[in-house]
Structure 1
């Protein structure tokens, strides 16, 4: 969870506890751990975070520096001596044989051999199978039968001349999970924290630095936890790559299972009719589908149908009998277009496989997390503060799945009367989940309750509004609530406020307005200079052609004045510049791309092909590629599709467009003199205040 190299920047002995960290240790002694320790002890052990934090919780759950270091050393020794690396499996087998009995840490799965009427274990990293397991061990840990469990095991070796007998003997097996916790103490301790402190504690518990997130961003992160605390909760998150969508479901809890969306089958997920064995939904609290998006992905129609029934009714049938389960379903996937582009050309579910781009399936979703609002994960976003040991908070959340807080808003507010039963269920489940996460002690003010109620309504509204684009037989809903004073409060989504022209283009009315104003009566002026971009034909506008020269130290020059008039309306732009290597050159590129992004319609996309020289030196090449990759990601979020083309023989610098312009640039984008003024230098915000180097630009119209 912690970026490589962080320990070198922040030596452990120099970290000073914050007031919140001291408070956390005071009220949750032994149940918290400093979150940056995981990376320090992990090394090259490929184990989930909850396994490492289980060990740290056993030996380093303290705020005393000496105790922490002693605990870290002990966990390191345990991992070094007992964790099984795949490439050292033969060495571990030898230790078991020579010592007679040896403890290992490995992922264990169990199958039932019906021919011999025995349970047999397989060890993922050790590479052995067929090890006999006592029935009472399996019954006490049924997840061994599904996808395996990380365990501490004592293995013995006994050679036999009978080749049919497996020589490995399981002496003991202990799942790496918390054995017990005191829920009442958890509730009592919660009352000692303010809401802001508690939210920050939860954010630190999932590994992030709360100072790097705003209030809304924190709540979006915590929405990801609702499937762990709420039964049969159906959540979807679509957004750009690198925002940590799947991390929580793979690392945060031993009660969650992350699987690839293309690797699941009906028998594996629900029930195998041939042997009657229950699938993943019967054993896990959360089943998350990674890489779920992809229009061209092949899907099993039978899986889609049974999933729709399960998501709606909490039960499933495969022709033998009807079974029920409590697993929440989470669907995460990447988007390849910006929000305004999707709103203009399709809908916010556009990336889903065709079989799932279906109103009946989508209507089962309780909340849509707008993944485009979540920032790309960076090293400085990770926490060095204290948070709950993952296994502890996972057990707390699991225990609260039995509780229902969905009606706690009703003494203050009433949902709109035309909100349907399914919409109401979605709102209630999200509200209940947030109440359990933030206010398990049920001491929330009317303002705090209103905040999470609005959030719950917004997430369901995002689902319903997009369904209306897909299925015009669906009835539009006015989302909002009434206060007990009789005031009606409408709820909108953020993208609805940002891009009204595209949000309402296929709608007869907005469904949220306070006085039933139609979209034509609302301010739907396109943002970011759209009117200018669409009203000018760059081939017809009288633009200067020829050579322009600029003197050294001249001011008043900007990318906007030099290039934008010639780039307007272009859908494909090619930039030839062999020198995009250093950070200031990358900044120049970003500033040009930003100018293009501001000028275009937010719902349009522009392809930019960068032809440049790729460094040959490995160290410099890695830095250059990391910079260009970051620019690629950031540009994509603004509707600029940046592609990199290696141009080892390139020398000249020029820009060309699909609208027929070519701009030859003597210095390329590197026209400004170096500035050391920092953020308070006007030139850092506006090019016009910066002095330029001597350079020339030639404008050529290639199409007449």
Structure 2
């Protein structure tokens, strides 16, 4: 176990579970994660390996005996008949039969209907009436001679969700973790390996949770297939429901005017629309109009009566084209169905989560560390919906007066949700508040900038905030930074003629923030200056970063204490390759590396470095290396004998993890197709 796993277990005893256990018990059961973790939480919420092993066997036995597989439904029904009573785990939905004036249950996998449910059960669990709920149910079988009689009797029903929790204890326990640790706790609780994500990527995953803690929050995420867009909304919480975007009707979502039955928004905290994208999808225009009104006013009409609801709306779908293609030819909403490709609908979205920044899910991205039992965290998040942190930045920062009321509402709701998730008891530093405020502004700016493409009557907006010292942070989206000419489509950037402050609270302290210091050097001309690169940015290569400052040098010295692992030494080889490609064939160049010894496998490190020596020699480059104590190496830099020093806060290790073993992957072959970590480079004339 990691140090963080130890801390999680000691701080939240009995409320956390090892996240890889779900795979160990799931087998071929098509059941949501929160159902499995509910059972694991009963028997495996410990760090004791023997208890975990025993608990896994118990949970497997429970699933084997009581979870109903559709293809074994007949056998289970027979067991109930023969034994007279049996416990089952199944998805149960209930309807009112107005002819018999009785509530009747349908069991999804078991395949039985018209099981009578008493009114007290419906009053205690109204979600049974809408969409269905996973439950542990005691069923009895009593044969009847009546023509329309049903032999099934429901004797006990328990929805799979936590019944009670200590919220004050949760707030108190949060103080035991640093901000970075707490971010990792939340990401591990979702089920991901924190070592595979940078800080920005972790916060984008956490941004997916905001609809669970904010009432009437509207989020859209469009991006490539396979990035886990729908996972959180289908399996993470018993308070959210995921439906196909093509299966939505006015009665199902809002209200049936004939029966008076309230739809999904009246019962669920989050209603998510899967596969929402698709230009050719047929959509009921009346549904779009009612949805627009609900998203703006939190209400909808039933005849002459107006009803309110609190459900947050989430829209997830796949994109067909790359971001630069969309920016050049259409916009980032191009995949919406025609009926939703409407400025009034889009303007009601509080944030646009950039799905193209999230990697396709791979096996190594899942966590084997500890995180909250899902149903415990789901109840905590639900409790937070009654809190409001929207004004937590006031007194520290002031938002630009140019931001409209709707833009401001979007920023404030996203900010509030992230603050609840990360700092439920307060205590955020000014830099952390600036980081969250920047992300909230970025999400709404992405919506507003695309609206200006759809409707030119929308004015440009200055998405910025100012601290108490008068320093301004102007927020931009990552795609605006990467593709400025495509992004602006003939419009000048807000404040283009102004000098933007370097935002010491946000830009230099956080790799997440989209706002950045001005780039005062060009990548084709060697000049003194400073450059900031944002996490998830692409199009970066050693060629543009270094060669103009290395050209003409005969000796280059790289100083970096952390050239120890395979991928770090591969970066050095790619640096050598870059020099080899650009130098004159008749030139001889020496590249000298100063680094420190790898503690656990020094022999392997030496083997890799010696292999690099041979590689360099074949290109007329002499590569030498020396190991010093890490304490003697104080900074990472590249120094040339022509007088240049390039200061690197991350050394050459600027790229995020990529498919290094995939020979057919462009990111493996070409650096510009890789995403980078947040990093900074300073070019200095070394006198």
TM range (shorter): 0.7 to 0.9
Residues 469 and 506 in structure 1, CA contact (< 8 A), matched pair in contact too: no
Aligned pair in 2 of structure 1 residues 634, 155: CA closer, same or farther (>3 Å)? farther
Hey, what does 1:132 align to over in structure 2? Answer: 116
For the residues of structure 2 that align with 1:31 and 1:523, how far apart are their CA atoms? 51
For the residues of structure 1 that align with 2:129 and 2:665, how far apart are their CA atoms? 45
Residues 131 and 166 in structure 1, CA contact (< 8 A), matched pair in contact too: yes
Among 187, 192, 200, the alignment partner of 2:171 is: 187
For the residues of structure 1 that align with 2:96 and 2:664, how far apart are their CA atoms? 49
**Alpha-carbon shift at residue 511 of structure 1 (Å):** 2.2
Aligned pair in 2 of structure 1 residues 455, 105: CA closer, same or farther (>3 Å)? same
Hey, what does 2:233 align to over in structure 1? Answer: 249
Residues 400 and 463 in structure 2, CA contact (< 8 A), matched pair in contact too: yes
Deviation sequence 1:203-242 (CA, Å, 0-9, x none):
0000001111000000100000000000000000011111
TM-score, normalised relative to structure 2: 0.74
SS at match of 2:243: strand
Hey, what does 2:334 align to over in structure 1? Answer: 350
Hey, what does 1:483 align to over in structure 2? Answer: 467
**Alpha-carbon shift at residue 351 of structure 1 (Å):** 1.0
Aligned pair in 2 of structure 1 residues 528, 56: CA closer, same or farther (>3 Å)? closer
For the residues of structure 1 that align with 2:94 and 2:662, how far apart are their CA atoms? 46
For the residues of structure 2 that align with 1:351 and 1:501, how far apart are their CA atoms? 22
Among 247, 260, 263, the alignment partner of 1:279 is: 263
Aligned pair in 2 of structure 1 residues 243, 195: CA closer, same or farther (>3 Å)? same
For the residues of structure 2 that align with 1:272 and 1:119, how far apart are their CA atoms? 18
Q: For residues 291-690 of structure 1, what are the structure 2 equivalents within 5 Å?
A: 291-507=275-491, 509-511=492-494, 513=496, 515=498
Aligned pair in 2 of structure 1 residues 380, 469: CA closer, same or farther (>3 Å)? same
Residues 539 and 672 in structure 2, CA contact (< 8 A), matched pair in contact too: no
For the residues of structure 1 that align with 2:46 and 2:520, how far apart are their CA atoms? 57
For the residues of structure 2 that align with 1:522 and 1:324, how far apart are their CA atoms? 52
Residues 501 and 524 in structure 1, CA contact (< 8 A), matched pair in contact too: no
Hey, what does 2:645 align to over in structure 1? Answer: none
**Alpha-carbon shift at residue 634 of structure 1 (Å):** 10
SS at match of 1:355: coil
SS at match of 1:119: strand
Aligned pair in 2 of structure 1 residues 103, 510: CA closer, same or farther (>3 Å)? same
Deviation sequence 1:546-603 (CA, Å, 0-9, x none):
xxxxxxxxxx99xx99xxxxxxxxxxxxxxxxxxxxxxxxxxxxxxxxxxxxxxxxxx
* Superposed CA RMSD: 2.8
SS at match of 2:385: helix
Aligned pair in 2 of structure 1 residues 522, 470: CA closer, same or farther (>3 Å)? farther
Aligned pair in 2 of structure 1 residues 473, 307: CA closer, same or farther (>3 Å)? same
Aligned pair in 2 of structure 1 residues 231, 630: CA closer, same or farther (>3 Å)? farther
For the residues of structure 1 that align with 2:667 and 2:277, how far apart are their CA atoms? 18
SS at match of 2:106: strand
Aligned pair in 2 of structure 1 residues 628, 289: CA closer, same or farther (>3 Å)? farther
SS at match of 1:375: coil
Task: Kindly indicate whether residue 208 of structure 2 is the aligned counterpart of residue 227 of structure 1.
Answer: no
Residues 234 and 329 in structure 1, CA contact (< 8 A), matched pair in contact too: yes
Aligned pair in 2 of structure 1 residues 634, 133: CA closer, same or farther (>3 Å)? farther
Residues 218 and 351 in structure 2, CA contact (< 8 A), matched pair in contact too: yes
Hey, what does 2:656 align to over in structure 1? Answer: none
Residues 479 and 512 in structure 1, CA contact (< 8 A), matched pair in contact too: no
Aligned pair in 2 of structure 1 residues 227, 151: CA closer, same or farther (>3 Å)? same
Task: Kindly indicate whether residue 247 of structure 2 is the aligned counterpart of residue 266 of structure 1.
Answer: no
Aligned pair in 2 of structure 1 residues 270, 472: CA closer, same or farther (>3 Å)? same
Aligned pair in 2 of structure 1 residues 203, 85: CA closer, same or farther (>3 Å)? same
Return structure 1 stretches of 4+ with deviation > 4 angstroms: 521-529, 627-635
Task: Kindly indicate whether residue 5 of structure 2 is the aligned counterpart of residue 21 of structure 1.
Answer: yes
Q: For residues 24-43 of structure 1, what are the structure 2 equivalents within 5 Å?
A: 24-43=8-27
Give ranges in structure 2 of 5+ residues lacking alignment: 501-518, 525-537, 541-576, 583-660, 674-687
Equivalent residue pairs, number: 531
Give ranges in structure 1 of 5+ residues lacking alignment: 1-16, 530-555, 562-626, 640-704
TM-score, normalised relative to structure 1: 0.72
Aligned pair in 2 of structure 1 residues 316, 95: CA closer, same or farther (>3 Å)? same
**Alpha-carbon shift at residue 506 of structure 1 (Å):** 3.4
